[in-house]
Structure 1
């Protein structure tokens, strides 16, 4: 496997891609390198904690002076000879998110970026929602007039059955219908009412070489996604880890985890296995560079990005 950066002319961005034989994985951030107040994500962090995290985390991901951490929201496109899959759906455009101003009524070039790498919405065969939080399902739908319709009309929308059941129950019991900042209403229900979700077991094989692994804690039915490229495994981490600073201190848990104790246990297990196997990780919230492996250091881990080769323009795979 090798990593490259690919310049996207006309949009003015560079995308990271992972190449493994006929398999291409492209990271498409729906929002990139945003400075978030550290304690809004990780309560209880002291200035000393941030300074320690600054020393051991990748450059630019922790600002102890401003007391912020950098986050991205990374969707991943997998191209194989058999299928095109999208792992997670980002924040989306045009969504009403008044309680999250940075997510509110956005207008982005996400679909233009997909088109620039040869992926039209109609080409996507599989959309996997690792969980149903608002920043992972936004591109499930796009507005047509006053109606939210599936963005990827030919895709099989996949979610763990436990995740879908949990949030459906929460929504049905809600008073205001604003479940998940409104994302259930505009990004989940329209799928249920049109093409339907393929609600599967949390360890299901979705396609050749593409399998879910249970990762509960942050959300009750969250999964991570494992891809066998033929040259090694890639693990799409969803929200099992939110930021590199958690690799150095396993006690740091995101404020938004439904079950913090279970989330910590899940994270420790996934990271330990990935480090032992040399698995390539594809984190959802890490800023670039995103593809890397873990090295174990005493009671902690360090994220080591893959060496990135010179920018390239690989021929689109699996054109159809």
Structure 2
């Protein structure tokens, strides 16, 4: 029996969940948001995206598996096992059966042809590698890893974001964590000669196109799917929560350039509403994706995707 998913045009999409649960509070993750908006939309935000008791933000760490033109493409690779993550203690030393879940979806590591990292954050690149005999090696031996050049430069050892002394202890830990992410999840695949560093745009095949969408990080990107009359856009961390559809000016606490992130978010939501693209973020629980429509100065959700909620 095929894994649950949806088909858009000639592309089959399934998802593999690494981790699901609450992380901090809703207004820690979306600091610009207000309690009134969450309460007003409680009927559909809870329980998938928000737990009102305790104001808990809920998310999933997941990989989108695309089968397109005879190839298997993974969009983002989660946290990974055995990681030292001082900046996110909740995921330090995480151990999951992610690879078994990937196999349940019909994919072995050897089957993967392309890995897309929408950006370089710890929860999007972790399973790029795995620990074998004390060394980090590529998890997917036959894959080409597509990594935005801007993020590779920014988070690499010579990145400008690590110049100068840290302003405080929080920034010191963040920088330390960013170096660890690069060292264990990016550098090993680059040394193995499996990376393609792209900028501007990069066509994967006739159905799939990567496009730069900076703001959340300098190299943040989206993956656009166009097959037949069907449209979708995998937006990574452009949308941590559906409340950002209602108020596209609201950034997450993880966004690097706040003005650019908000501008990019609004532009892609406007395009999705106009072209009826299915919007597929990285971390939404529930049905995982939605169609959007214009609503005054903002946007609204018009229909959930047909992915199972489980």
Alignment TM-score, normalising by the size of structure 1: 0.85
Among 149, 152, 166, the residue aligned to 2:140: 152
**What pairs up with 1:231-310 in 2 under 5 angstroms?**
231-303=229-301, 304-307=303-306
The aligned counterpart of 1:314 is: none
Q: Does 1:170 pair with 2:159?
A: yes
The alpha carbon displacement at 1:93 in A equals 1.1
The alpha carbon displacement at 1:307 in A equals 4.2
Alignment partners' CA distance in 2, 1:97 and 1:107: 13
State the SS of the aligned residue for 2:62.
strand
The aligned counterpart of 1:99 is: 87
State the SS of the aligned residue for 1:192.
helix
Q: Does 1:141 pair with 2:129?
A: yes
The alpha carbon displacement at 1:137 in A equals 0.4
The aligned counterpart of 1:122 is: 110
**Deviation string for 1:74-118 (max 9, x for gaps)?**
211111243110011111111111331221111111110111122
Alignment partners' CA distance in 1, 2:25 and 2:210: 32
Q: Structure 2 regions of 5+ residues with no counterpart?
A: 166-171
Contact between 1:16 and 1:289, CA under 8 Å: does it hold in 2? no
**What pairs up with 1:27-46 in 2 under 5 angstroms?**
27-46=15-34
The alpha carbon displacement at 1:300 in A equals 2.6
The alpha carbon displacement at 1:306 in A equals 2.7
The aligned counterpart of 1:89 is: 77
Comparing 83-92 and 25-34, the one that deviates more: 25-34
Number of corresponding residues: 299
Among 77, 94, 110, the residue aligned to 2:65: 77
Alignment partners' CA distance in 1, 2:230 and 2:277: 7
Alignment partners' CA distance in 1, 2:48 and 2:145: 35
Alignment TM-score, normalising by the size of structure 2: 0.88
Among 47, 62, 74, the residue aligned to 2:50: 62
The alpha carbon displacement at 1:231 in A equals 4.0
Among 91, 116, 120, the residue aligned to 1:132: 120
Alignment partners' CA distance in 1, 2:299 and 2:62: 21
The alpha carbon displacement at 1:297 in A equals 2.2
> Looking at both structures, which has the greater relative contact order when contacts are Cα pairs under 8 Å and sequence separation is at least 6?
1
Alignment partners' CA distance in 1, 2:251 and 2:277: 23
Alignment partners' CA distance in 2, 1:234 and 1:162: 24
Comparing 248-257 and 269-278, the one that deviates more: 248-257
The alpha carbon displacement at 1:49 in A equals 3.7
Alignment partners' CA distance in 1, 2:19 and 2:257: 26
Q: Structure 1 regions of 5+ residues with no counterpart?
A: 1-5, 8-14, 312-320
Q: Over aligned residues, Cα RMSD in angstroms? A: 2.6
Alignment partners' CA distance in 2, 1:306 and 1:44: 27
Alignment partners' CA distance in 1, 2:213 and 2:307: 29
Question: Residues 201, 213 of structure 1: CA spacing in aligned structure 2 closer, same or farther, 3 A cutoff?
Answer: same
Alignment partners' CA distance in 2, 1:230 and 1:185: 40
**Deviation string for 1:31-74 (max 9, x for gaps)?**
22434312321225443343134256465322333112211122
Alignment partners' CA distance in 1, 2:252 and 2:111: 35
Contact between 2:69 and 2:205, CA under 8 Å: does it hold in 1? no
